[in-house]
A and B are shown apart, each in its own frame.
Chain A
Amino acid sequence: MKKIRYGMVVDTRRCVGCKACVFACKSENKVPEGFCRDWIVEEVRGFFPDLKAEIRSERCNHCSKAPCVSNCPTGASHFAEGGVVLVNHNKCTGCKACMAACPYDARYVHPEGYIDKCTFCLHRVKEGKDPACVSVCPTKTLHFGDLNDPDSEVSRLLKTREWKVNAPETGCEPNVYFLV
C-alpha cells in the first residue's frame, strides 16, 4: 500500500468567501484572538463593468518539500502522519526561521511563544473526521483526503477538473490545490 499523502482541494467556483472555514477552525482549535490558521483571498480583476472574481480559502499547504521543516533548527517543524506538517510546541523556541522560509505566510507566533499554524486537524482526521473547515463548509468548496489514493475524492477532482497551486515556482510541492 502506498503511503498516505493528505491534501486539500479547494473549489474556487463554489466558494462564496463566507469565512465559515475561518471561524470553524478558530473555535475547533482555540486559535487565539487576532490570529487565524486559514483565511479568504478575494481577487477581483478588470474595470467596471467587465470584472472577474476568484475567491480562495487558503491555509498552510503542507508542502511535500516544506522549507519550514528544512529550516527549523530544533526539529519542531516536522512531517507527521500523511505528510502533514506540524509544529511540536515543546521543541519550538519561537525563532521564526520557519516563518521566514514559508512562501505562503501561513504561520504566526502563538501568544504562548511557539509557532502555530494549520494542522489539517490531524486530531480529527485520525478519528475519521474531516478537518473542521471542510466539515463546516456550507458550499462544499473544501475537500480533504489522500492524494496518493487514486480513488479518493481529492484525486478524482484533480483528474477531472482544471487546477492550480499557489506559488508553484517555489518548488515546495504544496498539497493544497485550487480548482478553477
Chain B
Amino acid sequence: MKRREFLQISGGTLAGAAFASGFTTKWWGLDGDPIPNPGTDGTIVPSFCELCFWKCGIHAHVKDGKVTKIVGNPDHPLSRGKLCPRGTGGIGLLYDPDRLKKPLLRKEVGGKQRFEEVSWDEALDFIADKMKTIKKKYGPESLALFSHGFGGSWMKKVVKAYGSQNIGAPSWAQCKGPRDVGFELTFGDFLGSPEPIDMRNAKCITLIGAHLGENMHNTQVQDFAEAIGNGADIIVVDPRFSTAAGKAKHWLPIKPGTDIALLLAWMHVLIKEGLYDQEYIKKYATGLDKLKKYLEDKTPEWAFTQTGIEPEKIVASARTLAAARPRSIVHPGRHVTWYGNDTQRSRAIAMLNALLGSWGRIGGYYFKDKIKLAPFPGSMYKFPKSTKPIADRKKGAIYPFGGESLAHGFRDATFPGYADYDIKAWIVYGTNLMQCLPDPEKTKEAIKHLDLLVAIDVLPAEITGYADVVLPECTYLERHDDLWSAAYTEPFVAMRQPAVKPMYDSKPGWWIAKELAKRLGYEGLFPWKDPEEYLRGRAEASHLSWKELKSKGVIAKKKREAQTIDEGLEPSFDTPTGKIELFSKQLQESGLDPIPVHRPPDEPPPGYFRLLYGRYPVHTFGRTTNNRFLSEIFPENEVWLNARMAKELGLQSGDRVMVENQDGRKSGPIRVKVTQRIRPDCVYMVHGFGHKDKRLRFARGRGASDSDLISKSAIDPIIGSTGMNVNFVRLEVAS
C-alpha cells in the first residue's frame, strides 16, 4: 500500500513517472511489468473547435503550458464527448511550425517587393491610415470584408462602424446558400447550421451528393451511424461510390447534373402510386394539382434517358423512400453549388420532403429552438447607415431571392465599373479566397485594382501572399471568441476560451479588432477591458450562469416538449400563402420556374471528364492540409478515374498526371486513383490541395488544386450563387 502511495506522488511529473517505473521494475523487481501510461491527461479547459465550422465542444488537456490532447466535451450537444479526426488534430494546427508569427508588411526595397516583419503598432497604424484615406477618397462602402469562421465577428463590427455593409463569406454563394433559399421558398424557413434534421430517428435517409462520413460534421455522422444501427434504409445518389454509398440499400450512380430529373421522377412515382402523405399535403400544402399535372410525363422512363438510372431502380427506391415516411429524410446537403440550378434542385428536395410529410416530424425535419442572447450591457454603439446598395453584383443584376452577400460579387465589384460602385479595399479574415472562389486567376486580377488588402489568418495561404499587410491571429486554442448560441434540438450557448497563451507574436481576433477600432476612433465599439468582462456581461444579461459556462464550456437547455407536429407542435409556414408551396407563385412572378425544371447539362467534349470535388474526413478544405498531424494519414489528394477509362488512357494507379481544363488551366502533378467507384464520364478529387505558397512547407506542391481548374461557374438565377461542377478536364501524364 505504501509503495502505491509513493508512486502516485512521484508520478506527478513526467520525469518522476519515468524514474518511478524504472525504479520499481529494474531495481526492486516488485512491480513486474508496468502498465505504460503516456501521461497525456492534464488540466481540462472546455471550449469549442474551429477545425471546421460545425464547432463541436472540446476538452483541451493542458500540461506544463502545452496542449497534450483534445477530446470531445461530453456536455456539448454537438460533440456528445466524441470528435472527428480533425477535432483531435487541433494540436497539429496549434503547433504547426509554419504558423504566421509576426505581422508582415509589404515593402518595396530596391525595386523588389517583400514582406517585412513589423510591430503590431506599425501594422495597425498602417491599416488605420490607409482606411482613413480610402474612406475620404471613395467612401466607406468601398471596403469589403470576407470573413469565414467564428472569430470574424469582431472585425465585422469594425467594418460596420467604418460604414460598410459589404461583408460576406464564401459559405453562402460558394456553398450552402441555394439550399437555404430552396427550403425557404418551399417551407418559409431556412435551414442554417446545424441543420435541423432528426436523422437519429429516421427510417430512411436519402443523400443527394452529400457524402456523410467523408464530410465529417460530427453530430450528423453520429446520427447517421445511429440510424444505420437502427436498421434505417440508406439511399445514395452520387456519381461516385462514396463511403455512404457503401452503406446504401440503393446506390444510384447518377449522371452528374441531372438530379432534378430524378427528383421529379421520384415525385411522379409517389403521386402516381398514391404513396405520398395525402393527409399532410392536404392540411399544410398548396399547389398539388399544378404539381400533379406537371409531373404527368416525368416518368421513370423519361428520367432514365436523362439520369442513366434504370426505371426499375427509380421505382424501387421511390417505394423505399415512401415506406419509411414520415421518418424519411431527404438530406438537404450542405455544399450544393454545383450546376447553377442549385436553388431549384434544393427546392425539388424540399418538395420531395413535403410529399413524404417529413418537414416538422420525428425522424424528419424538426422546428429548431434557440436561446436568446442579450447584448453586452451598455453597448449602445450607433452604426452609421449606408445609403448605397451592397456592391456584390453586376450593375443592374437582380437575384430576386437571397439571404447573405455574394462573396465572389465583392471580388467582381473590384473591377472598375462592374458594380454600382467600386470596391477598393479588402479585409480577408480566415478564408483563402484563392481556393474558395471560382476562377482564382480572376481573383488575382481583381487584387491589382485594390488600394489595400489585409489578410488575417493563423497560417499562410495563397491569399496572404497577395496581401499588403498580414496579421497573425492566434489559434482558437489560444483565444476567446464571442458566445455562440446555436439553434438546435437542445438549444445551447457555447463559449470559446484559451487553453494556452498565444504563441509567437500572434494575437486574438478581438484584440486586433479592438486595437484597430481605437485607431479609427470608434470609441465605445468595444466598451470592455477584456473578453471575459464582455462574455460574462453577455452571459449574465442572458440569465446564464457565468460559472457554469466557464467551467463546462457550454450551457444546454433540454429539448422542448414539442418540436415536431407529432409531438403536438402546430407548424406555421412563412411563405406568401402561409402553406408549403409545391407551386411557387413568387418564383413565377419573378420570371422563374414555379416548379423545378430539368434542363440537360452540357456534355464534356471528347476526351474530357466532368470535374467533381468533395471532402476527405481528416481535412477541412485547404485549412488542414499543412497540419502535419492530420496529413500524415492523407498527405495529398488523388484524381479518381474509372477503371475502364484508365485502361483506355493507359493509366495506372499511382501514375502522376497533370489535369487540364477546357480553358487550358492546369493543376498537378497529382496521382491517379484507378477505381470502380466512379462513373466513366467524370473524375473526382478531394478539395483543398495543390497549395503553392512556399511558406506552407508541408502542403506546398502536394496534389492538385481543383480550384485552379474551376475557371468557369454557372450563376444561379435565383440567388446569384456560383455552380462549380461545370468544368471539364483531361489528364495528361506528367513529365
Which residues of A are in contact with B by a Cβ distance under 8 Å? 11, 13-14, 16-20, 22-24, 26-30, 33-34, 36, 44, 46-49, 51-55, 78, 80-81, 86, 88-91, 119, 122-123, 126, 132, 135-141
Contacts and interface: CB of A to CB of B under 8 A. Distances in A.
Given A18-B85, A49-B251, A138-B84, A122 B35 contact: yes
- Residue of B26, B212, B225, B617 most packed against chain A (CB within 10 A): B225
Given A90-B26, A122-B35, A140 B222 contact: yes
Interface string B637-677: 00000111000000000000000000000000000000111
Given A48-B642, A51-B241, A136 B83 contact: yes
Contact of A138 (B37, B225, B247): B225
B16 to A, nearest CB: 16
Nearest to B74: A135
Given A28-B38, A29-B38, A90-B26, A44 B241 contact: yes
B678 A48 contact: yes
B375 interface: no
A14 B89 CA distance: 22
Q: Which 4 A-B pairs have the closest CB atoms?
A: A53-B246, A16-B213, A139-B225, A18-B617
Residue of A20, A26, A126 contacting most chain B CB atoms (<10 Å): A20
Contacts of B89: 23
Interface string B206-247: 000000111010100110111011000000000001011111
A116 to B, nearest CB: 9
B378 interface: no
Given A28-B38, A122-B35, A123-B38, A138 B218 contact: yes
Nearest to A34: B632
Given A13-B229, A16-B243, A17-B243, A138 B222 contact: yes
Given A17-B243, A48-B643, A48-B678, A23 B35 contact: no
Interface stretch (B65-73, B119-127, B361-369, B484-492): B65-73
Contact of A137 (B82, B241, B677): B82
Given A44-B241, A52-B246, A80-B35, A20 B226 contact: no
Q: Interface residue tally of chain B, by bracket?
A: 35 or more
B13 to A, nearest CB: 15
A119 B225 CA distance: 27
A24 B246 contact: no
B88 A140 contact: no
A23 B37 contact: no
B33 interface: yes
Contact of B618 (A19, A90, A91, A136): A19
B36 interface: yes
23 contacts: A16-B243, A16-B617, A18-B85, A19-B85, A19-B617, A19-B618, A20-B88, A24-B71, A26-B88, A27-B68, A28-B38, A33-B632, A44-B676, A48-B241, A48-B642, A48-B643, A48-B677, A48-B679, A51-B251, A51-B677, A53-B243, A135-B71, A140-B229
Interface string B673-710: 00111111000000000000000000000000000000
Contacts of A19: 85, 617-618, 633
Given A20-B617, A53-B247, 14 more contacts: A13-B229, A16-B214, A17-B213, A18-B85, A26-B629, A30-B38, A48-B241, A48-B643, A53-B241, A55-B246, A135-B71, A138-B221, A139-B225, A140-B229
A132 B246 CA distance: 26
Interface in B49-77: 68-72
B630 interface: yes
A36 B247 CA distance: 27
A28 B61 CA distance: 10
A33 B91 CA distance: 13
Nearest to A139: B225
B604 interface: no
B327 interface: no
B247 A13 contact: yes
Contact of A119 (B36, B228, B678): B36
A30 to B, nearest CB: 5
A24 B245 CA distance: 26
Contacts of B35: 80-81, 86, 119, 122-123, 126
A23 B617 contact: no
A136 B224 CA distance: 16
- Most chain B CB atoms below 10 A, which of A13, A27, A28, A55: A27
B442 to A, nearest CB: 35
A159 to B, nearest CB: 16
Contact of A18 (B21, B36, B216, B629): B216
Nearest to A20: B85
A168 B411 CA distance: 61
B630 A23 contact: yes
Contact of A28 (B22, B69, B630): B69
B195 to A, nearest CB: 16
A27 B66 CA distance: 13
Nearest to A25: B88
B568 interface: no
A122 B35 CA distance: 7
B228 A13 contact: yes
